[in-house]
Amino acid sequence: MLRHMNGHDTAAPAALNRADTADLVKRVVGPVSLPADAGYQSECGTFNLMSAVRPAIAVGATSVADLQAAVRFAAERDLPVAVLATGHQMVRSAEGAVLINMSRMNAVHVDLRPRPDGA
**Can you give the residue ranges of every domain in the chain?**
2-101
CATH number of 2-101: 3.30.43.10
For 79-117, what is each residue's pLDDT tens digit? 999 888 776 665 567 888 999 998 898 876 788 888 887
CA 83 from centre of chain: 6
The pLDDT value recorded for residue 25 is 93
Q: Report DSSP state, residue 14.
A: P
Percent of the chain at pLDDT > 70 equals 76
Q: 33 pairs with which residues across the strands?
A: 58
For 1-20, what is each residue's pLDDT tens digit? 344 444 444 444 458 888 88
For 18-38, what is each residue's pLDDT tens digit? 888 999 999 999 999 999 999
